[in-house]
Amino acid sequence: MWAFRYSYNLGHPFSRPIATFRRKTLDSEVARKLNSNPLPLPNPHLNCMKTVYIIEDEENLRTLLSTFFATTFPDLEVLGMTSNGGEGIEQCLKLEPDLVIIDVQLPEVNGLEILHLLKRNFPKIKVLIFSGQTSPQTIKIAVRGNADGFINKISGLEELTKAIHAVQKDEQFFSPEIYDQIVRMREEGIGGQSRPLIS
């Protein structure tokens, strides 16, 4: 909003129209500049993730993931980490991170239960399963819970990097050995939202 300083001479019949005219002139000039140099529009295909929470029971891997995010995704703030599923879901419900990295096998509450709870409470949250537990039943439950990706731990951080880039574009990412199973499940109409699928 533009602010102007001028004094009115209440006895002068043209004081108010002149002030109004100046305001309209300046507004027109601003509009002309904005039209000639429009602001860039945000890319609707990019998900602006700013925060991440890690739920992983292996201490060495938690340390590795912390360093990974600090160096590979410095714009993503790690809000916290825990080895306990119960504490993890409690903190996620409290902090509402944009992205959650979850192992499947966890104390108290397993990763698949956390996935379903988070998606039910925060449908827009991104959840990546990062686990070595890749049985067909585990994958099926993850797909039904609308996981945004499932990365086999043996694939390493390179695939986790690809998965994070994918979910930033509202796509799903699955390790190659999981991908074929996911495609078959999609064909059978088992769970999952209709989004681009990447391996």
Q: How many domains does the chain have?
A: 1
User: Residue 3: is its pLDDT beyond 50?
Assistant: no
pLDDT at 13: 43
Of the candidates 120, 115, 90, the one whose C-alpha atom is nearest the C-alpha of residue 104 is: 115
pLDDT at 182: 82
Bigger pLDDT: 186 vs 192: 186
90: domain CATH number is: 3.40.50.2300
pLDDT at 115: 97
> What DSSP line would sit under the chain, residue for residue?
---------TT-TTHHHHHHHHHHHHHHHHHHHHHHSPPPPP-TT-----EEEEE-S-HHHHHHHHHHHHHH-TTSEEEEEES-HHHHHHHHHHH--SEEEE-SS-SSS-HHHHHHHHHHH-TT-EEEEEES---HHHHHHHHHTT-SEEEEGGG-HHHHHHHHHHHHTT-EEE-HHHHHHHHHHHHTT-S--S--EE-
Range of the domain at 100: 51-198
Tell me whether residue 24 is in a domain.
no
Q: How confident is the model at residue 184 (pLDDT cuts 50, 70, 90)?
A: confident
Average pLDDT of span 129-149: 93
Tell me whether residue 6 is in a domain.
no
Q: How confident is the model at residue 9 (pLDDT cuts 50, 70, 90)?
A: very low
**86-121 pLDDT tens trace:** 999 999 999 999 999 999 999 999 999 999 999 999
> Quick check: 153 and 131 in contact, CB under 8 A?
yes
What pTM was estimated for this model as a whole? Answer: 0.72
